[in-house]
Copies of this chain bind each other. A is one copy, B any other.
Amino acid sequence: MARARAARTASAKRGYHHGDLRRALIDTTLKVISEEDVAAVSLRAVARRAGVTYAAPYHHFRDKNALLAAVAVEGYRALRHEVERALARAPRRPAARLQALAQSYIRFGVAHPAHYRVMFRPDLGDPAQEPELDAAAGQAFHGLLLIIAELRGPGTGAEELERLAITAWSMVHGLVSLWNEGPLRNKTARPSVKPFADEVVRQLERLLTR
């Protein structure tokens, strides 16, 4: 029972039943996205590479968008994990914590462009169509709000906090987006985001100094 299930899960596509096709489909999708492009993801190709026929995925995902949404949700989880790790090992100094937050965010976005692009629905369907995705994005923003509030200390209004958080998010997301989508890479001839990330972080610190 548990043994057989575990074995099948490990060796994947053994018999008629796959074991954990849902997991395999998400992984394969990610692989396709990194190797080619998010636009190159076809349900049929993913199913093929996962060792099942084209209709099998429909027993695990409502449609293609649902698959991509699941990938995005996982991306948010990974991002959060990464950021929390960076914050955990950062010094307690507020400036250092902000720096760790921003740097880890940018690093994640640049290191995993495939995941990152899917997270920010390039062309996914309705907004709140995927509640899980919406929740994941909401958590991410809420976490950012908390950290900004912590860094700013008490005595900052909720509205101002929101404005600051959004400005901060815009800066890091903008940099990642511009870098990943090409406009920057082609125009700067610089091989690394590092200097730009540093500059963004430097400017970000001014957000805290009122």
Contact in complex: A177, B173 (CB < 8 Å): yes
Contact in complex: A141, B183 (CB < 8 Å): yes
Contact in complex: B121, A186 (CB < 8 Å): no
Q: For A187, what are the chain B residues with a Cβ–Cβ distance below 8 Å?
A: 137-138, 141
The prevalent SS among residues of A at the interface is helix
Rounded to whole angstroms, the CA-CA distance of A171 and B170 in the bound complex is 5
Contact in complex: B196, A123 (CB < 8 Å): no
Rounded to whole angstroms, the CA-CA distance of A170 and B163 in the bound complex is 16
Contact in complex: B181, A121 (CB < 8 Å): yes
Rounded to whole angstroms, the CA-CA distance of A134 and B137 in the bound complex is 32
Rounded to whole angstroms, the CA-CA distance of A122 and B137 in the bound complex is 20
Asked if A1 is an interface residue, CB under 8 A from chain B, the answer is no
Rounded to whole angstroms, the CA-CA distance of A206 and B167 in the bound complex is 13
Asked if A73 is an interface residue, CB under 8 A from chain B, the answer is no
Q: How far is the CB of A118 from chain B (nearest CB, A)?
A: 11
Contact in complex: B167, A199 (CB < 8 Å): yes
Asked if A78 is an interface residue, CB under 8 A from chain B, the answer is no
Interface residues of A in 98-123 (CB under 8 A from B): 120-123
Asked if A127 is an interface residue, CB under 8 A from chain B, the answer is yes
Q: For A162, what are the chain B residues with a Cβ–Cβ distance below 8 Å?
A: 188
Asked if A128 is an interface residue, CB under 8 A from chain B, the answer is yes
Question: Which single residue of chain B is at the shortest CB-CB distance from A160?
Answer: B199
When each residue 122-141 of chain A gets 1 if its CB lies under 8 Å from chain B and 0 otherwise, what string results?
11000110000010011001
